[in-house]
Amino acid sequence: MFSYYLELALRSLRRSPGLTALMVLAIGFGVAASMTTWSVFRAVSGDPIPWKSSQLFVPQIDMWGPKGRGPNNSDNEPPDALDYTDAMALMRAHRGKLQSAMYQISPSVVPADASKHPINVSGHAVYSEFFPMLDVPFLYGNGWSADDDTQRAAVAVISGKLNDKLFGGANSVGRTVSIEGKDYRVVGVLGNWNPQPRFYDVVNTGGFSTGVEDVFIPFERAIAMSISNDGNTNCSETPAESGFVGLQRSSCIWLAYMVQLDDAAAVSAYRSWLDGYAKDQQKAGRFGWAPNNRLRDVPAFLDHEQVVPSDTKVSLLVALGLLIVCLVNTAGLLLAKFLRRSSEIGVRRALGAPRLAIYAQFLTEAGMIGLAGGVLGLLLTGVGVASVSWVLPKDIASLARLDFSLLALTLLVAVIATTLAGLYPTFRASRVQPAWQLKSN
Amino acid sequence: MTLHPMIAALRRHKAGVVLIALQIALTLAIVCNAVFIIGQRIERVHRPTGLDENNLFLVSQQWVGAPSGDDPGSVEKLDSMQQADLAALRGLPDVASVAPINSLPLLNSSWNGAVDLKPGDKGQGSFRGTRTTYYFSDEQALSTLGLRLVAGRNFTAADVGHQGFRDQGEPTQVILTKALGDKLFPKGDALGKVIFLNGATTPTTIIGLVERMQVPGTGSWTNAFVWNATLAPTRLDANFARYAIRAKPGRLDAAMRAVTPALYATNPLRVLDDDSVKSFADIRAEAYRADVGMAILMGVVCLILLAVTAAGIVGLTSFWVGQRHRQIGVRRALGARKIDILHYFQIENLVIASVGAVIGLMLAVGLNLLLMKSFEMDRLPAAYVLIGIVVVLALGQGAVFVPARRASNVPPVVATRAA
């Protein structure tokens, strides 16, 4: 029976090619616009570390107090980064399974080949636990040890890209790289690792980054060598002392922090430890206010930081609106098309076809239009995803890509949506009175 | 012609009428808001920075193995390195003038604080007062950037000092934008007045006012102080430096090419890569890429929407014309002119489109409220909705014309034939 309906549908579609083309075009464009914006939305709202994001937490401590946050901050949220004093206190307490304070650096690297000019790389100063905590993949070697942390060892982990540039892609573990004019021993070379959004340091990257993290060095080594921070620094008051040391002694915030807590018990224990810490600071006179801490996991923190650009959400919303208009349009055209064939329906019904058969016939026709629209939508989505790269900001555009699930979704949305749009016209078609149709002819 | 028979006829095919009206309503709602977004972005992108942007470019560079800048000796060393660079750049044949500067409008790297009329006191935080961004530069800033001085005087070479990047001293003299001056001194007499920067206890004198200068940040968080800039006569010393350079007219490319070799010749131990030398046009394009992209996206969506809706009207009206073929013939046989048939379909469309427009008006406002609540949109001005209504009505009339004319060409003889 289905093949018969297919044949009927084909015949009907061929009979009014203009109307059919109109419907297919509308579905195609509507679905393509939605899927293109969806591909961007999906890319920026994705979980960068899905297998672990609920175990990774970002602690926030209110070191500024209500006054220091200024007049614009009325929701009593503590600052979203840490000052040096509190970050170090958290590192010393070491209450999580794994944890690391970190800050963004942008040191120069001098190639061994003297004829080449120095280059600028970006990276982070981190603790040894950073690598196992974030499941960072290594191509060669490994991260450094806890001893290297405390001894401020001159060791570095470099990206595969920097390894290609400096060592021609060979295993460079044990070799030397010159960072800010000092020699560092390479202990590890990263595999392909470029998580987006940069969930471990949203504050300094704003979430997305076109660059690659080229170099990681031990946190305390970077502090000892006065490798200053490259990211944002926010102060509620002017530091009392000058220089990088003055920054470390101030309440200015410039450090990101991440801690791994495996279960609910660990989370609540960490929370109460944070509150205890803030209370101690209050007692010591450093904080003149009650504890006001937050401990958000990665998805919650990304949401809090509004990593997904509002433009992306608005675009998706508007594109969905477009899809709805296209469907309303299709519903109207299908209605016209189906009712035009009232006499044909009347004949079929008079010959004994039940209403269900009419439903099957016309929904098959709607589904076929949806399928055709979906195929057109696939092509247009391809064009759309390719063209966002020259329309949207580079850091976001590079994330939107065409893959199998997007293509499958495009077809599915087109077919389902068109079938839904065809429901009412089909209902009307099934209500056609055979007697009336036969008589009037 | 009375509307009564037309409305009676519309009742015969309610579903089609409802669908067209709904489609017009949704189209109106989305197009109004999308065009409003486009308008806002265009306005944002076209606001002048206050700079003379032609022939202007920026060099960002970093020294390798430079002193820390944390002690007086190393600050002096860094300053002499910066002075050597400035001298080399100012000596280039295609360069008109050079100013060291910490940032530029649209560069999205900023140093922000607040200025107040009263000295600060300990523990109040530095947020008190009026928010401003700071530009640290020297006496060539105005000529290099092309800023227009509207009151007072420019810095002189003697005014210019230098300090480490993280040193806390505040300048004793500053030039403000007129917007900031007027905000602090609403009577417009800011020149010569004393202010306090970032909660400092030492006074600073306003020696000049420039017409306009935008802050570096382009995000929505800067909206509250986008024209509030303070220029300080201070060279900042750090292991990196930025130089704004004005090329001689028409010599921008040559000047940009000459910079890298000149700086390497002064001191080869530095980082200068592809991104280091950037024309202001590139800085502007990068800063507004998201806005331009959003405007293009909304524009494409609007075009598709209008096309789909117009096509839908053509399709449904054609169907109706076919359906009423015989009735049209009867009317013609009874003496209706071609123009009457044409008008019938045109007015029918106008009625449906008007109903759609009224619903669409409400939807447009509703969608705008939703966007305002969730995405910091502004209120949709009535003009956009009114123009939107005119556009969808015109679109409807345009779309209905072809099938309506086909209807008007139905010959009266059809009435005599069997249906």
The pLDDT, as a whole number, for residue A6 is 82
Q: How many domains does chain B have?
A: 2
pLDDT at res. B15: 84
Q: Please indicate whether, in this complex, the C-beta atoms of B16 and A335 are within 8 angstroms of each other.
A: yes
A374 or A118: which leads in pLDDT: A374
Minimal C-alpha gap between B340 and chain A (Å): 24
Shared-domain flag, residues B42 and B69: no
Q: Where does a domain end: B234, B268, B302?
A: B268
DSSP letter at A53? G
How far A337 CA lies from chain B's nearest CA (Å)?
A: 8
pLDDT for A374 beyond 90 = yes
Cα A333 to Cα A243: distance, rounded to the nearest angstrom: 71
Q: How far is B100 from chain A (nearest CA, A)?
A: 19
Q: Do B309 and A332 touch (CB under 8 A)?
A: no
Say if B95 falls within a structural domain.
yes
Q: Would you place residue A59 in the very low, low, confident or very high pLDDT band (cuts 50, 70, 90)? A: very high
pLDDT tens per residue across span A281-321: 999 888 888 899 999 999 999 988 888 888 888 999 999 99
Q: Is residue B168 part of a domain?
A: yes
The answer to whether residue B384 sits within a structural domain is yes
Do B348 and B300 lie in a common domain? Answer: yes
**Nearest one of A211, A323, A200 to A255, comparing CA atoms:** A200
Domain shared by B127 and B212, yes or no: yes
Q: How far is CA A351 from the centre of its chain?
A: 57
Are both B257 and B109 inside the same structural domain?
A: yes
Nearest CB to B271; choose among A119, A226, A331: A119
Confidence check: pLDDT of A141 > 80: yes
Is A29 an interface residue toward B (CB < 8 Å)?
Answer: yes
A151 touches chain B (CB under 8 A): no
Q: What is the pLDDT of residue A439?
A: 67
pLDDT for residue B418: 62
Q: Quick one: which H or E segment has residue A178?
A: strand A176-179
Measured in residues, chain A has a length of 441
Average pLDDT over residues B32-41: 93
pLDDT tier at A72, thresholds 50, 70, 90: low
**Domain C-terminal end among B237, B268, B299:** B268
Is B273 contained in some domain? no
- Residue B68 pLDDT class (50, 70, 90 cuts): confident
Quick check: A74 contacting B, CB < 8 Å? Answer: no
Q: Does A386 contact chain B (CB < 8 Å)?
A: no
Kindly indicate the confidence band of residue B91, based on its pLDDT and cuts at 50, 70 and 90. Answer: very high
Is B60 inside a domain boundary?
Answer: no
The predicted-structure confidence for B385-407, as pLDDT tens digits, reads as follows: 999 999 999 999 999 999 999 89
Mean pLDDT across the stretch A52-75? Answer: 81
Cβ–Cβ under 8 Å, residues A385 and A396: no
Q: Which of B198, B233, B268 is the last residue of a domain?
A: B268
Question: Which DSSP string do the residues of A200-238 spell out, in sequence order?
Answer: GGHHHH-S--SS---EEEEHHHHHHTT----S--B-SS-
Share of chain A above pLDDT 90, in %: 48
A33 vs B contacts (CB less than 8 Å): 300-301, 304
For A227-264, write each residue's pLDDT tens digit.
888 878 888 877 878 788 888 988 889 999 999 999 99
Asked if B239 and B336 sit in the same domain, the reply is no
Residue A119: which of B123, B167, B273 has the nearest Cβ?
B273
Return all residues near A164 (Cβ < 8 A) that are at least 6 apart.
Answer: none
Other C-beta atoms closer than 10 Å to the C-beta of B201 total: 11
Beta strand B204-210 with B173-177: parallel, antiparallel or unpaired? parallel
Residues of chain B with C-beta less than 8 angstroms from the C-beta of A239 = 166, 168
Nearest one of B196, B21, B226 to B106, comparing CA atoms: B226
Q: Are B239 and A228 inside 8 Å of each other by CB?
A: yes
B274 within domain boundaries: no
CB neighbours of A224 closer than 8 A, spacing ≥ 6?
A: A152
Q: Chain B contacts of A317, Cβ < 8 Å? A: 371
Flag whether pLDDT at B123 surpasses 60.
no
B318 and B352 share a domain? Answer: yes
Q: Which pLDDT score, from 0 to 100, does residue B21 have?
A: 93
Regarding whether B259 and B213 lie in a shared domain, the answer is yes
Whether the link from the prior residue into A197 is cis, omega within 30° of 0, is yes
Are the Cβ atoms of B296 and A391 closer than 8 angstroms?
A: yes
Q: How confident is the model at residue A438 (pLDDT cuts 50, 70, 90)?
A: low
A232 contacts chain B (CB < 8 A)? no
Q: Are residues B195 and B306 in the same domain?
A: no
CA–CA gap between residue A176 and residue B55 (Å, rounded): 43
What b/e readout covers A108-139, taking b as 16+ CB neighbours within 10 angstroms?
Answer: bbbeeeeeebbbbbbbbbbbbbbbebbebebb
Taking the CA of residue A269 and the nearest CA in chain B, the distance in Å comes to 33
Better pLDDT: B40 or A113: B40
Q: By the 8 A CB rule, do B139 and B233 touch? A: yes
pLDDT tens sequence across B320-377: 888 888 888 888 888 888 899 899 899 999 999 999 999 999 999 999 999 888 887 8
Contact A329 B312 (CB under 8 A): yes
pLDDT tens-digit readout, A388-430? 877 777 777 777 778 888 899 999 999 999 999 999 999 988 8
| pLDDT for the residue B213 | 96
Whether residue B122 is predicted with pLDDT greater than 60 in this model: the reply is no
| Residue B88 and residue B176 in one domain | yes
State the average pLDDT for chain B.
89
Same domain, B235 and B324: no
A66 at interface of B, judged by CB pairs closer than 8 A: no
Q: Which of B305, B324, B372, B417 to mutate to test the interface with A (most CBs of A within 10 A)?
A: B305
Interchain CB distance below 8 Å, A238 and B198: yes
A186 within 8 A of A175, measured Cβ to Cβ: yes
The pLDDT tens digits of the residues spanning A20-48 come to 888 899 999 999 999 999 888 888 888 88
- Chain pair A-B, CB pairs under 8 angstroms: 188
Residues B137 and B196 in one domain: yes
Got the DSSP string for A61-96? ---SHHHHT-TT--S-PPPSSB-HHHHHHHHHH--S
B97 and B126 assigned to the same domain = yes
Beta bridge partners of A296: A58
Chain B residues inside the 8 Å CB shell of A235: 126
Is B281 inside a domain boundary? no
- Contact (Cβ atoms closer than 8 angstroms) between residue B356 and residue B23: yes
A91 — pLDDT class (breaks 50, 70, 90): very high
For a pLDDT cut of 70, what percent of chain A falls above it? 98
* B56 lies in some domain: no
Domain of residue B125: give its range.
65-268
